Chain A
Protein backbone atom coordinates (compact mmCIF):
# COMPACT_ATOMS: atom_id res chain seq x y z
CA UNK A 1 0.00 0.00 0.00
CA UNK A 2 1.42 3.38 -0.96
CA UNK A 3 2.37 5.90 1.72
CA UNK A 4 0.00 8.49 0.22
CA UNK A 5 -2.92 6.09 0.50
CA UNK A 6 -2.07 5.35 4.11
CA UNK A 7 -1.88 9.08 4.83
CA UNK A 8 -5.29 9.75 3.29
CA UNK A 9 -6.79 6.72 5.01
CA UNK A 10 -5.70 8.16 8.36
CA UNK A 11 -8.85 10.28 8.62
CA UNK A 12 -10.99 7.16 8.21
CA UNK A 13 -8.90 5.38 10.79
CA UNK A 14 -9.36 8.36 13.12
CA UNK A 15 -13.12 8.09 12.59
CA UNK A 16 -12.89 4.33 13.31
CA UNK A 17 -10.96 5.07 16.48
CA UNK A 18 -13.62 7.56 17.61
CA UNK A 19 -16.36 5.04 16.80
CA UNK A 20 -14.64 2.32 18.81
CA UNK A 21 -14.12 4.61 21.77
CA UNK A 22 -17.79 5.60 21.77
CA UNK A 23 -19.60 2.41 20.94
CA UNK A 24 -18.27 -0.19 23.35
CA UNK A 25 -20.50 1.56 25.86
CA UNK A 26 -23.55 0.85 23.68
CA UNK A 27 -22.98 -2.88 23.56
CA UNK A 28 -21.30 -3.58 26.88
CA UNK A 29 -21.95 -0.38 28.91
CA UNK A 30 -24.51 -1.65 31.41
CA UNK A 31 -22.76 -5.03 31.68
CA UNK A 32 -19.56 -3.22 32.68
CA UNK A 33 -21.36 -0.62 34.80
CA UNK A 34 -23.16 -3.29 36.82
CA UNK A 35 -19.90 -5.27 37.19
CA UNK A 36 -21.40 -8.27 35.39
CA UNK A 37 -18.60 -8.22 32.78
CA UNK A 38 -15.13 -6.77 33.20
CA UNK A 39 -14.01 -3.98 30.88
CA UNK A 40 -11.10 -6.08 29.62
CA UNK A 41 -13.34 -8.99 28.62
CA UNK A 42 -15.74 -6.60 26.94
CA UNK A 43 -12.93 -4.85 25.08
CA UNK A 44 -11.40 -8.10 23.79
CA UNK A 45 -14.72 -9.64 22.70
CA UNK A 46 -16.00 -6.34 21.27
CA UNK A 47 -12.85 -5.81 19.20
CA UNK A 48 -12.67 -9.33 17.78
CA UNK A 49 -16.31 -9.41 16.76
CA UNK A 50 -16.39 -5.87 15.38
CA UNK A 51 -13.54 -6.86 13.03
CA UNK A 52 -15.25 -10.12 12.04
CA UNK A 53 -18.56 -8.36 11.41
CA UNK A 54 -16.87 -5.67 9.34
CA UNK A 55 -14.89 -8.07 7.13
CA UNK A 56 -17.61 -10.71 6.70
CA UNK A 57 -20.83 -8.69 6.50
CA UNK A 58 -19.84 -5.07 5.95
CA UNK A 59 -20.53 -4.76 2.21
CA UNK A 60 -24.29 -4.02 2.11
CA UNK A 61 -24.50 -0.68 3.92
CA UNK A 62 -21.22 0.42 2.30
CA UNK A 63 -22.76 0.04 -1.14
CA UNK A 64 -25.69 2.24 -0.13
CA UNK A 65 -23.37 4.91 1.24
CA UNK A 66 -21.41 4.76 -2.03
CA UNK A 67 -24.61 5.49 -3.93
CA UNK A 68 -25.33 8.54 -1.79
CA UNK A 69 -22.09 10.14 -2.88
CA UNK A 70 -19.53 8.19 -4.89
CA UNK A 71 -16.50 10.10 -3.63
CA UNK A 72 -13.95 9.27 -6.29
CA UNK A 73 -10.72 10.95 -5.18
CA UNK A 74 -8.52 10.30 -2.18
CA UNK A 75 -8.56 13.97 -1.20
CA UNK A 76 -12.38 14.01 -1.14
CA UNK A 77 -12.60 10.76 0.85
CA UNK A 78 -9.98 12.01 3.29
CA UNK A 79 -11.87 15.24 3.94
CA UNK A 80 -15.29 13.57 4.31
CA UNK A 81 -13.96 11.06 6.84
CA UNK A 82 -12.01 13.79 8.63
CA UNK A 83 -15.09 16.02 8.87
CA UNK A 84 -17.09 13.15 10.33
CA UNK A 85 -14.25 12.19 12.68
CA UNK A 86 -13.79 15.75 13.93
CA UNK A 87 -17.54 16.12 14.48
CA UNK A 88 -17.74 12.87 16.43
CA UNK A 89 -14.67 13.72 18.52
CA UNK A 90 -15.74 17.30 19.15
CA UNK A 91 -19.29 16.41 20.15
CA UNK A 92 -18.01 13.64 22.40
CA UNK A 93 -15.74 16.18 24.07
CA UNK A 94 -18.74 18.49 24.55
CA UNK A 95 -20.58 15.61 26.16
CA UNK A 96 -23.23 15.48 23.44
CA UNK A 97 -24.36 12.06 22.22
CA UNK A 98 -23.29 11.58 18.64
CA UNK A 99 -23.98 9.22 15.78
CA UNK A 100 -21.09 8.30 13.48
CA UNK A 101 -23.64 7.37 10.81
CA UNK A 102 -25.16 10.82 10.82
CA UNK A 103 -21.73 12.41 10.84
CA UNK A 104 -20.56 10.58 7.73
CA UNK A 105 -23.85 11.14 5.86
CA UNK A 106 -23.59 14.86 6.67
CA UNK A 107 -19.99 14.87 5.41
CA UNK A 108 -20.96 13.11 2.15
CA UNK A 109 -23.78 15.58 1.58
CA UNK A 110 -21.22 18.36 2.19
CA UNK A 111 -19.03 16.81 -0.53
CA UNK A 112 -22.01 16.53 -2.91
CA UNK A 113 -22.82 20.19 -2.29
CA UNK A 114 -19.23 21.36 -2.73
CA UNK A 115 -18.60 19.40 -5.92
CA UNK A 116 -22.05 20.06 -7.36
CA UNK A 117 -22.82 16.35 -7.49
CA UNK A 118 -26.50 15.49 -7.61
CA UNK A 119 -27.53 13.72 -4.38
CA UNK A 120 -29.30 10.43 -5.07
CA UNK A 121 -32.61 11.23 -3.39
CA UNK A 122 -33.81 7.61 -3.38
CA UNK A 123 -30.71 6.56 -1.46
CA UNK A 124 -31.03 9.52 0.88
CA UNK A 125 -34.65 8.56 1.45
CA UNK A 126 -33.58 4.97 2.23
CA UNK A 127 -31.03 6.21 4.74
CA UNK A 128 -33.48 8.59 6.41
CA UNK A 129 -36.08 5.81 6.49
CA UNK A 130 -33.50 3.61 8.20
CA UNK A 131 -32.79 6.31 10.75
CA UNK A 132 -36.47 6.63 11.63
CA UNK A 133 -37.32 2.92 11.35
CA UNK A 134 -34.19 1.84 13.25
CA UNK A 135 -35.08 3.19 16.70
CA UNK A 136 -38.78 2.35 16.23
CA UNK A 137 -37.93 -1.25 15.32
CA UNK A 138 -35.47 -1.40 18.21
CA UNK A 139 -38.25 -0.25 20.56
CA UNK A 140 -40.64 -2.89 19.19
CA UNK A 141 -38.01 -5.65 19.45
CA UNK A 142 -37.11 -4.54 22.97
CA UNK A 143 -40.76 -4.68 24.06
CA UNK A 144 -41.28 -8.15 22.53
CA UNK A 145 -38.00 -9.53 23.87
CA UNK A 146 -38.68 -8.07 27.30
CA UNK A 147 -42.14 -9.64 27.51
CA UNK A 148 -40.70 -12.95 26.33
CA UNK A 149 -37.83 -12.89 28.83
CA UNK A 150 -40.13 -11.94 31.71
CA UNK A 151 -42.53 -14.79 30.80
CA UNK A 152 -39.65 -17.30 30.59
CA UNK A 153 -38.11 -16.16 33.88
CA UNK A 154 -41.50 -16.35 35.59
CA UNK A 155 -42.00 -19.93 34.40
CA UNK A 156 -38.42 -21.05 34.98
CA UNK A 157 -38.31 -19.89 38.63
CA UNK A 158 -34.54 -19.89 38.57
CA UNK A 159 -32.54 -19.45 41.74
CA UNK A 160 -31.31 -15.87 42.06
CA UNK A 161 -27.71 -17.02 41.67
CA UNK A 162 -28.50 -19.21 38.67
CA UNK A 163 -30.39 -16.37 37.05
CA UNK A 164 -27.37 -14.11 37.71
CA UNK A 165 -25.05 -16.62 36.00
CA UNK A 166 -27.36 -16.89 32.96
CA UNK A 167 -27.65 -13.10 32.77
CA UNK A 168 -23.86 -12.81 32.82
CA UNK A 169 -23.54 -15.34 30.01
CA UNK A 170 -26.38 -13.65 28.15
CA UNK A 171 -24.69 -10.24 28.40
CA UNK A 172 -21.49 -11.70 26.98
CA UNK A 173 -23.36 -13.29 24.07
CA UNK A 174 -25.34 -10.08 23.50
CA UNK A 175 -22.06 -8.14 23.46
CA UNK A 176 -20.58 -10.54 20.92
CA UNK A 177 -23.67 -10.26 18.69
CA UNK A 178 -23.63 -6.49 19.26
CA UNK A 179 -19.96 -6.24 18.27
CA UNK A 180 -20.52 -8.27 15.12
CA UNK A 181 -23.60 -6.25 14.11
CA UNK A 182 -21.84 -2.98 14.85
CA UNK A 183 -18.90 -4.00 12.65
CA UNK A 184 -21.21 -5.20 9.87
CA UNK A 185 -23.38 -2.11 9.88
CA UNK A 186 -21.06 0.73 10.91
CA UNK A 187 -17.88 -0.15 9.02
CA UNK A 188 -19.58 1.65 6.12
CA UNK A 189 -19.24 4.88 8.10
CA UNK A 190 -15.54 4.38 8.65
CA UNK A 191 -14.36 3.02 5.32
CA UNK A 192 -17.32 3.47 2.96
CA UNK A 193 -16.03 6.75 1.50
CA UNK A 194 -12.71 5.12 0.52
CA UNK A 195 -14.12 2.12 -1.36
CA UNK A 196 -14.23 3.89 -4.75
CA UNK A 197 -11.11 6.02 -4.27
CA UNK A 198 -8.80 3.28 -2.96
CA UNK A 199 -8.87 0.31 -5.35
CA UNK A 200 -6.89 -2.58 -3.84
CA UNK A 201 -6.15 -5.95 -5.40
CA UNK A 202 -7.06 -9.23 -3.68
CA UNK A 203 -4.86 -10.28 -0.80
CA UNK A 204 -4.32 -13.91 0.16
CA UNK A 205 -3.71 -14.61 3.85
CA UNK A 206 -1.51 -17.73 3.97
CA UNK A 207 -3.50 -19.32 1.16
CA UNK A 208 -6.46 -19.93 3.48
CA UNK A 209 -8.46 -16.73 3.18
CA UNK A 210 -8.54 -14.26 0.33
CA UNK A 211 -9.62 -10.72 1.13
CA UNK A 212 -10.90 -8.52 -1.67
CA UNK A 213 -10.05 -4.80 -1.76
CA UNK A 214 -13.13 -3.79 0.20
CA UNK A 215 -12.49 -6.39 2.86
CA UNK A 216 -8.92 -5.20 3.31
CA UNK A 217 -10.22 -1.70 3.95
CA UNK A 218 -12.82 -3.09 6.33
CA UNK A 219 -10.12 -5.05 8.17
CA UNK A 220 -8.09 -1.87 8.58
CA UNK A 221 -11.16 0.06 9.72
CA UNK A 222 -12.06 -2.78 12.11
CA UNK A 223 -8.60 -2.65 13.64
CA UNK A 224 -8.95 1.13 14.05
CA UNK A 225 -12.27 0.56 15.87
CA UNK A 226 -10.55 -2.04 18.08
CA UNK A 227 -7.79 0.45 18.91
CA UNK A 228 -10.48 2.99 19.81
CA UNK A 229 -12.11 0.43 22.08
CA UNK A 230 -8.84 -0.28 23.88
CA UNK A 231 -7.58 3.27 24.18
CA UNK A 232 -10.66 5.43 24.72
CA UNK A 233 -13.76 3.38 25.62
CA UNK A 234 -12.82 2.98 29.27
CA UNK A 235 -13.32 6.69 29.81
CA UNK A 236 -16.62 6.79 27.93
CA UNK A 237 -18.02 3.75 29.74
CA UNK A 238 -17.07 5.26 33.10
CA UNK A 239 -19.12 8.37 32.40
CA UNK A 240 -22.25 6.34 31.55
CA UNK A 241 -24.75 5.92 34.33
CA UNK A 242 -26.89 9.01 34.41
CA UNK A 243 -28.49 7.72 31.24
CA UNK A 244 -31.99 7.66 29.88
CA UNK A 245 -33.33 4.97 32.24
CA UNK A 246 -31.72 3.03 35.04
CA UNK A 247 -31.83 -0.62 34.10
CA UNK A 248 -31.42 -4.05 35.61
CA UNK A 249 -28.88 -6.38 33.96
CA UNK A 250 -31.74 -8.36 32.35
CA UNK A 251 -33.24 -5.21 30.84
CA UNK A 252 -29.75 -4.26 29.65
CA UNK A 253 -29.51 -7.63 27.89
CA UNK A 254 -32.81 -6.98 26.12
CA UNK A 255 -31.63 -3.54 25.00
CA UNK A 256 -28.36 -4.78 23.53
CA UNK A 257 -30.06 -7.69 21.75
CA UNK A 258 -32.78 -5.44 20.27
CA UNK A 259 -30.11 -2.98 19.13
CA UNK A 260 -28.02 -5.74 17.58
CA UNK A 261 -30.99 -7.28 15.79
CA UNK A 262 -31.81 -3.94 14.19
CA UNK A 263 -28.23 -3.24 13.13
CA UNK A 264 -27.93 -6.73 11.70
CA UNK A 265 -31.24 -6.51 9.82
CA UNK A 266 -30.12 -3.32 8.11
CA UNK A 267 -26.74 -4.87 7.22
CA UNK A 268 -27.32 -8.49 6.23
CA UNK A 269 -27.39 -9.20 2.52
CA UNK A 270 -28.28 -12.82 3.29
CA UNK A 271 -31.35 -11.78 5.23
CA UNK A 272 -32.39 -9.49 2.38
CA UNK A 273 -31.93 -12.32 -0.15
CA UNK A 274 -33.92 -14.67 2.10
CA UNK A 275 -36.79 -12.18 2.41
CA UNK A 276 -36.74 -11.56 -1.34
CA UNK A 277 -36.78 -15.30 -2.10
CA UNK A 278 -39.89 -15.68 0.06
CA UNK A 279 -41.65 -12.67 -1.43
CA UNK A 280 -41.43 -10.71 1.84
CA UNK A 281 -40.80 -6.97 2.13
CA UNK A 282 -37.13 -6.12 2.57
CA UNK A 283 -35.28 -3.50 4.54
CA UNK A 284 -32.80 -1.19 2.84
CA UNK A 285 -29.16 -2.00 3.64
CA UNK A 286 -28.17 1.28 5.22
CA UNK A 287 -25.87 2.24 8.05
CA UNK A 288 -28.00 2.72 11.17
CA UNK A 289 -26.97 4.76 14.17
CA UNK A 290 -26.05 2.38 16.94
CA UNK A 291 -26.83 5.09 19.52
CA UNK A 292 -30.31 5.64 18.04
CA UNK A 293 -31.03 1.92 18.15
CA UNK A 294 -29.98 1.78 21.80
CA UNK A 295 -32.12 4.79 22.68
CA UNK A 296 -35.08 3.26 20.81
CA UNK A 297 -34.71 0.00 22.73
CA UNK A 298 -34.35 1.75 26.09
CA UNK A 299 -37.43 3.86 25.36
CA UNK A 300 -39.35 0.71 24.42
CA UNK A 301 -38.66 -0.76 27.84
CA UNK A 302 -39.32 2.56 29.55
CA UNK A 303 -42.71 2.86 27.84
CA UNK A 304 -43.58 -0.74 28.70
CA UNK A 305 -42.99 0.16 32.34
CA UNK A 306 -45.40 3.07 32.02
CA UNK A 307 -42.85 5.73 31.05
CA UNK A 308 -42.33 6.81 34.67
CA UNK A 309 -38.62 6.00 34.88
CA UNK A 310 -37.70 7.69 31.61
CA UNK A 311 -35.63 10.84 32.03
CA UNK A 312 -37.24 12.82 29.23
CA UNK A 313 -34.81 15.75 29.47
CA UNK A 314 -31.99 13.33 28.64
CA UNK A 315 -33.93 12.30 25.53
CA UNK A 316 -34.19 15.96 24.53
CA UNK A 317 -30.44 16.33 24.97
CA UNK A 318 -29.84 13.25 22.80
CA UNK A 319 -32.18 14.51 20.06
CA UNK A 320 -30.32 17.81 19.97
CA UNK A 321 -27.11 15.88 19.34
CA UNK A 322 -28.73 13.99 16.49
CA UNK A 323 -29.91 17.19 14.86
CA UNK A 324 -26.56 18.94 15.22
CA UNK A 325 -24.36 16.07 14.02
CA UNK A 326 -25.13 15.92 10.26
CA UNK A 327 -25.34 19.71 10.02
CA UNK A 328 -21.98 20.27 11.76
CA UNK A 329 -20.32 17.48 9.82
CA UNK A 330 -21.70 18.78 6.50
CA UNK A 331 -20.43 22.29 7.19
CA UNK A 332 -16.97 21.08 8.29
CA UNK A 333 -16.78 18.85 5.20
CA UNK A 334 -17.75 21.73 2.87
CA UNK A 335 -15.24 24.18 4.39
CA UNK A 336 -12.53 21.52 4.60
CA UNK A 337 -12.98 20.61 0.93
CA UNK A 338 -12.63 24.27 0.01
CA UNK A 339 -9.26 24.38 1.78
CA UNK A 340 -8.17 21.03 0.37
CA UNK A 341 -8.86 22.24 -3.15
CA UNK A 342 -7.73 25.86 -2.97
CA UNK A 343 -5.02 25.88 -0.30
CA UNK A 344 -3.50 22.40 -0.48
CA UNK A 345 -4.17 22.06 -4.19
CA UNK A 346 -5.71 18.58 -3.90
CA UNK A 347 -8.24 17.12 -6.29
CA UNK A 348 -11.45 16.51 -4.41
CA UNK A 349 -13.64 15.50 -7.33
Chain B
Protein backbone atom coordinates (compact mmCIF):
# COMPACT_ATOMS: atom_id res chain seq x y z
CA UNK B 1 0.00 0.00 0.00
CA UNK B 2 2.67 2.46 1.10
CA UNK B 3 4.95 1.32 -1.72
CA UNK B 4 2.10 1.87 -4.19
CA UNK B 5 1.72 5.35 -2.75
CA UNK B 6 5.40 5.88 -3.44
CA UNK B 7 5.08 4.85 -7.09
CA UNK B 8 2.34 7.50 -7.44
CA UNK B 9 4.60 9.91 -5.57
CA UNK B 10 7.40 9.45 -8.12
CA UNK B 11 4.95 10.05 -10.99
CA UNK B 12 3.57 13.16 -9.27
CA UNK B 13 7.10 14.37 -8.57
CA UNK B 14 8.00 14.17 -12.27
CA UNK B 15 4.95 16.22 -13.26
CA UNK B 16 5.73 18.82 -10.58
CA UNK B 17 9.37 19.08 -11.68
CA UNK B 18 8.14 19.88 -15.20
CA UNK B 19 5.71 22.50 -13.85
CA UNK B 20 8.42 24.21 -11.78
CA UNK B 21 10.69 24.28 -14.86
CA UNK B 22 7.91 25.77 -16.95
CA UNK B 23 7.21 28.37 -14.27
CA UNK B 24 10.87 29.45 -14.19
CA UNK B 25 10.91 29.54 -18.02
CA UNK B 26 8.03 32.01 -17.85
CA UNK B 27 10.04 34.36 -15.61
CA UNK B 28 12.89 34.45 -18.11
CA UNK B 29 10.52 34.76 -21.06
CA UNK B 30 8.52 37.62 -19.55
CA UNK B 31 11.72 39.50 -18.66
CA UNK B 32 13.17 39.07 -22.14
CA UNK B 33 9.96 40.25 -23.83
CA UNK B 34 9.77 43.23 -21.48
CA UNK B 35 13.40 44.19 -22.22
CA UNK B 36 12.85 43.91 -25.97
CA UNK B 37 9.59 45.84 -25.82
CA UNK B 38 11.15 48.74 -23.90
CA UNK B 39 14.12 48.86 -26.26
CA UNK B 40 11.62 49.02 -29.15
CA UNK B 41 9.76 51.75 -27.25
CA UNK B 42 12.96 53.81 -27.02
CA UNK B 43 13.50 53.47 -30.78
CA UNK B 44 9.95 53.83 -32.08
CA UNK B 45 7.89 55.21 -29.19
CA UNK B 46 4.57 53.75 -28.08
CA UNK B 47 2.65 51.80 -30.67
CA UNK B 48 1.24 48.48 -31.76
CA UNK B 49 4.46 46.53 -31.24
CA UNK B 50 4.63 47.59 -27.59
CA UNK B 51 0.94 46.86 -27.00
CA UNK B 52 1.35 43.40 -28.52
CA UNK B 53 4.29 42.71 -26.15
CA UNK B 54 2.15 43.94 -23.25
CA UNK B 55 -0.57 41.43 -24.15
CA UNK B 56 2.01 38.68 -24.43
CA UNK B 57 3.40 39.49 -20.97
CA UNK B 58 -0.13 39.55 -19.52
CA UNK B 59 -0.79 36.07 -20.92
CA UNK B 60 2.50 34.83 -19.46
CA UNK B 61 1.61 36.36 -16.09
CA UNK B 62 -1.75 34.57 -16.04
CA UNK B 63 -0.13 31.23 -16.92
CA UNK B 64 2.53 31.77 -14.25
CA UNK B 65 -0.14 32.48 -11.63
CA UNK B 66 -2.01 29.35 -12.59
CA UNK B 67 1.15 27.23 -12.44
CA UNK B 68 2.22 28.71 -9.13
CA UNK B 69 -1.15 27.93 -7.58
CA UNK B 70 -1.09 24.35 -8.87
CA UNK B 71 2.45 23.77 -7.62
CA UNK B 72 1.68 25.29 -4.22
CA UNK B 73 -1.47 23.21 -3.85
CA UNK B 74 0.33 19.99 -4.79
CA UNK B 75 3.22 20.64 -2.41
CA UNK B 76 0.90 21.43 0.47
CA UNK B 77 -1.77 18.81 -0.17
CA UNK B 78 0.71 15.93 -0.40
CA UNK B 79 3.04 17.29 2.32
CA UNK B 80 5.98 17.21 -0.09
CA UNK B 81 9.43 18.55 0.98
CA UNK B 82 8.06 19.20 4.48
CA UNK B 83 11.28 20.71 5.80
CA UNK B 84 11.70 23.19 2.93
CA UNK B 85 8.12 23.68 1.76
CA UNK B 86 7.78 27.12 3.34
CA UNK B 87 11.00 28.31 1.69
CA UNK B 88 10.00 26.89 -1.70
CA UNK B 89 6.55 28.50 -1.52
CA UNK B 90 8.17 31.87 -0.74
CA UNK B 91 10.62 31.41 -3.60
CA UNK B 92 7.78 30.73 -6.04
CA UNK B 93 5.87 33.79 -4.79
CA UNK B 94 8.96 35.97 -5.15
CA UNK B 95 9.71 34.70 -8.65
CA UNK B 96 6.09 35.32 -9.58
CA UNK B 97 6.51 38.86 -8.32
CA UNK B 98 9.23 39.39 -10.96
CA UNK B 99 6.72 38.57 -13.70
CA UNK B 100 4.24 40.93 -12.04
CA UNK B 101 6.91 43.64 -12.20
CA UNK B 102 7.26 43.05 -15.97
CA UNK B 103 3.52 43.33 -16.42
CA UNK B 104 3.09 46.34 -14.11
CA UNK B 105 5.93 48.29 -15.73
CA UNK B 106 4.78 47.44 -19.25
CA UNK B 107 1.39 48.91 -18.31
CA UNK B 108 3.11 52.01 -16.91
CA UNK B 109 4.94 52.56 -20.19
CA UNK B 110 1.70 52.01 -22.10
CA UNK B 111 -0.39 54.38 -19.94
CA UNK B 112 2.12 57.09 -19.02
CA UNK B 113 4.13 57.10 -22.31
CA UNK B 114 7.29 58.65 -20.82
CA UNK B 115 9.53 60.53 -23.23
CA UNK B 116 13.20 59.63 -23.10
CA UNK B 117 15.46 62.13 -24.87
CA UNK B 118 18.00 60.50 -27.20
CA UNK B 119 20.97 61.41 -24.91
CA UNK B 120 19.68 59.03 -22.19
CA UNK B 121 18.95 56.08 -24.45
CA UNK B 122 22.33 54.40 -24.14
CA UNK B 123 22.33 54.45 -20.33
CA UNK B 124 18.71 53.38 -20.16
CA UNK B 125 19.48 50.44 -22.46
CA UNK B 126 22.46 49.53 -20.23
CA UNK B 127 20.18 49.70 -17.21
CA UNK B 128 17.62 47.44 -18.87
CA UNK B 129 20.31 45.00 -19.99
CA UNK B 130 22.01 44.74 -16.60
CA UNK B 131 18.78 44.50 -14.60
CA UNK B 132 17.49 41.88 -17.09
CA UNK B 133 20.68 39.80 -16.77
CA UNK B 134 20.34 40.08 -13.00
CA UNK B 135 16.84 38.58 -13.19
CA UNK B 136 17.99 35.84 -15.60
CA UNK B 137 20.80 34.98 -13.21
CA UNK B 138 18.47 34.71 -10.25
CA UNK B 139 16.38 32.29 -12.34
CA UNK B 140 19.56 30.22 -12.84
CA UNK B 141 20.08 30.31 -9.07
CA UNK B 142 16.50 29.13 -8.48
CA UNK B 143 16.96 26.28 -10.97
CA UNK B 144 20.20 25.33 -9.25
CA UNK B 145 18.39 25.32 -5.91
CA UNK B 146 16.13 22.59 -7.25
CA UNK B 147 18.69 20.62 -9.25
CA UNK B 148 22.26 21.39 -8.19
CA UNK B 149 22.36 22.97 -4.78
CA UNK B 150 26.12 23.51 -4.77
CA UNK B 151 25.90 25.84 -7.79
CA UNK B 152 23.45 28.21 -6.07
CA UNK B 153 26.20 30.35 -4.54
CA UNK B 154 27.93 30.92 -7.87
CA UNK B 155 24.75 32.34 -9.36
CA UNK B 156 23.66 34.34 -6.32
CA UNK B 157 27.11 35.89 -6.13
CA UNK B 158 26.68 37.09 -9.72
CA UNK B 159 23.21 38.44 -8.89
CA UNK B 160 24.64 40.54 -6.08
CA UNK B 161 27.39 41.84 -8.37
CA UNK B 162 24.86 42.75 -11.09
CA UNK B 163 22.60 44.51 -8.60
CA UNK B 164 25.50 46.77 -7.62
CA UNK B 165 26.20 47.45 -11.30
CA UNK B 166 22.52 48.29 -11.85
CA UNK B 167 22.66 50.72 -8.92
CA UNK B 168 25.69 52.44 -10.42
CA UNK B 169 24.05 52.81 -13.83
CA UNK B 170 20.78 54.08 -12.36
CA UNK B 171 22.58 56.65 -10.19
CA UNK B 172 24.61 57.84 -13.17
CA UNK B 173 21.44 58.07 -15.28
CA UNK B 174 19.49 59.94 -12.62
CA UNK B 175 22.34 62.43 -12.19
CA UNK B 176 22.38 63.00 -15.94
CA UNK B 177 18.59 63.43 -16.03
CA UNK B 178 18.55 65.98 -13.23
CA UNK B 179 21.55 67.85 -14.70
CA UNK B 180 19.69 68.33 -18.01
CA UNK B 181 17.53 71.29 -19.05
CA UNK B 182 14.28 69.33 -19.02
CA UNK B 183 11.35 70.66 -16.98
CA UNK B 184 11.43 69.33 -13.39
CA UNK B 185 8.20 67.41 -13.77
CA UNK B 186 9.63 65.41 -16.70
CA UNK B 187 12.81 64.74 -14.79
CA UNK B 188 10.76 63.30 -11.95
CA UNK B 189 8.75 61.23 -14.40
CA UNK B 190 11.90 59.72 -15.93
CA UNK B 191 13.41 59.11 -12.51
CA UNK B 192 10.29 57.13 -11.65
CA UNK B 193 10.90 54.81 -14.61
CA UNK B 194 14.60 54.48 -13.85
CA UNK B 195 13.69 53.43 -10.31
CA UNK B 196 11.15 50.93 -11.64
CA UNK B 197 13.78 49.22 -13.82
CA UNK B 198 16.35 49.36 -11.02
CA UNK B 199 13.80 47.64 -8.82
CA UNK B 200 14.07 44.42 -10.89
CA UNK B 201 17.65 44.03 -9.69
CA UNK B 202 16.73 44.88 -6.08
CA UNK B 203 14.05 42.20 -6.07
CA UNK B 204 16.44 39.70 -7.66
CA UNK B 205 19.01 40.45 -4.99
CA UNK B 206 16.48 39.87 -2.19
CA UNK B 207 15.59 36.51 -3.73
CA UNK B 208 19.30 35.64 -4.04
CA UNK B 209 19.83 36.42 -0.33
CA UNK B 210 16.95 34.14 0.67
CA UNK B 211 18.20 31.44 -1.69
CA UNK B 212 21.63 31.50 -0.07
CA UNK B 213 20.11 30.85 3.35
CA UNK B 214 17.75 28.13 2.10
CA UNK B 215 20.60 26.47 0.21
CA UNK B 216 22.58 26.18 3.44
CA UNK B 217 19.55 24.53 5.05
CA UNK B 218 19.26 22.11 2.15
CA UNK B 219 22.93 21.09 2.29
CA UNK B 220 22.04 18.22 4.61
Q: Give me the interface of A with B, judged by CB distance under 8 Å.
A: 34-36, 41, 45, 146, 149-150, 153-154, 157-162, 164-165, 168-169, 172, 248-251
Listed A/B pairs (7) with beta-carbon separation below 8 Å: A146-B220, A158-B147, A159-B146, A160-B218, A161-B17, A162-B14, A165-B13
Contact A159 B147 (CB under 8 A): yes
Given A248-B220, A250-B220, A251-B220, residue A161 in contact with residue B6 (CB < 8 A): no
Contact A36 B2 (CB under 8 A): no
In angstroms, Cα B152 to Cα A157, docked, is 12
In angstroms, Cα B146 to Cα A157, docked, is 9
- Distance in angstroms from A152 CB to nearest chain B CB is 11
Given A165-B9, A165-B13, A168-B9, residue A160 in contact with residue B220 (CB < 8 A): no
In angstroms, Cα B219 to Cα A149, docked, is 12
In angstroms, Cα B150 to Cα A158, docked, is 12
Chain A residues near B2: list those with CB within 8 A: 41, 45, 172
Contact A161 B13 (CB under 8 A): yes
Task: Give chain B interface residues in 31-89, CB to chain A under 8 Å.
Answer: 79-84, 88
Number of chain B residues close to chain A: CB under 8 A: 24
Contact B17 A34 (CB under 8 A): no
The contact of B148 among A157, A169, A172, by CB within 8 Å, is A157
In angstroms, Cα B10 to Cα A165, docked, is 6
In angstroms, Cα B18 to Cα A162, docked, is 12
In angstroms, Cα B13 to Cα A35, docked, is 17
Chain A residues near B16: list those with CB within 8 A: 161
Contact A160 B88 (CB under 8 A): yes
Other A-B pairs, 4, CB within 8 Å; known A157-B148, A168-B6: A41-B2, A149-B220, A160-B146, A164-B81
The contact of A169 among B6, B80, B81, B220, by CB within 8 Å, is B6
**Interface hub of B2, B83, B84, B218 (most chain A Cβ within 10 A):** B2
Tell me if B145 counts as interface (CB < 8 A to partner A): yes
In angstroms, Cα B80 to Cα A146, docked, is 23
Contact B220 A35 (CB under 8 A): no
- Distance in angstroms from A80 CB to nearest chain B CB is 38
Q: Find the B residue at minimum CB distance from A160.
A: B146
- Which 6 residue pairs are nearest across A and B when measured between Cβ atoms? A35-B82, A161-B13, A164-B81, A160-B146, A165-B13, A157-B148
Contact B220 A153 (CB under 8 A): yes
- Distance in angstroms from A65 CB to nearest chain B CB is 34
- B139-175 vs A, CB cutoff 8 Å, 1 = contact: the mask equals 0000001111010000000000000000000000000
In angstroms, Cα B149 to Cα A150, docked, is 12
Q: Find the B residue at minimum CB distance from A33.
A: B82
Chain B residues near A249: list those with CB within 8 A: 82-83
In angstroms, Cα B21 to Cα A214, docked, is 58
- Distance in angstroms from A219 CB to nearest chain B CB is 23
In angstroms, Cα B10 to Cα A251, docked, is 21
Contact A161 B220 (CB under 8 A): no
Chain B residues near A146: list those with CB within 8 A: 220
In angstroms, Cα B146 to Cα A159, docked, is 5
Given A172-B2, A250-B220, residue A160 in contact with residue B145 (CB < 8 A): yes
Q: Find the A residue at minimum CB distance from B75.
A: A161
Contact A36 B82 (CB under 8 A): yes
Contact A162 B6 (CB under 8 A): no
In angstroms, Cα B2 to Cα A36, docked, is 12
In angstroms, Cα B9 to Cα A150, docked, is 23
Contact B83 A161 (CB under 8 A): no
**Interface hub of A45, A248, A251 (most chain B Cβ within 10 A):** A248
In angstroms, Cα B6 to Cα A41, docked, is 12
Q: Find the B residue at minimum CB distance from A254.
A: B220
Q: Find the A residue at minimum CB distance from B16.
A: A161
**Interface hub of A154, A161, A162, A169 (most chain B Cβ within 10 A):** A161
Chain B residues near A153: list those with CB within 8 A: 220
In angstroms, Cα B220 to Cα A157, docked, is 13
Contact A157 B147 (CB under 8 A): yes
The contact of B17 among A157, A162, A169, A251, by CB within 8 Å, is A162
Given A165-B9, A251-B220, residue A160 in contact with residue B82 (CB < 8 A): no
In angstroms, Cα B146 to Cα A168, docked, is 17
In angstroms, Cα B148 to Cα A117, docked, is 63
The contact of B13 among A162, A172, A248, by CB within 8 Å, is A162
Given A36-B82, A165-B10, A250-B220, residue A154 in contact with residue B146 (CB < 8 A): no
Contact A150 B81 (CB under 8 A): no
In angstroms, Cα B151 to Cα A25, docked, is 36
- Distance in angstroms from A139 CB to nearest chain B CB is 17
Chain B residues near A172: list those with CB within 8 A: 2-3, 6
Contact A150 B82 (CB under 8 A): no
In angstroms, Cα B9 to Cα A41, docked, is 15
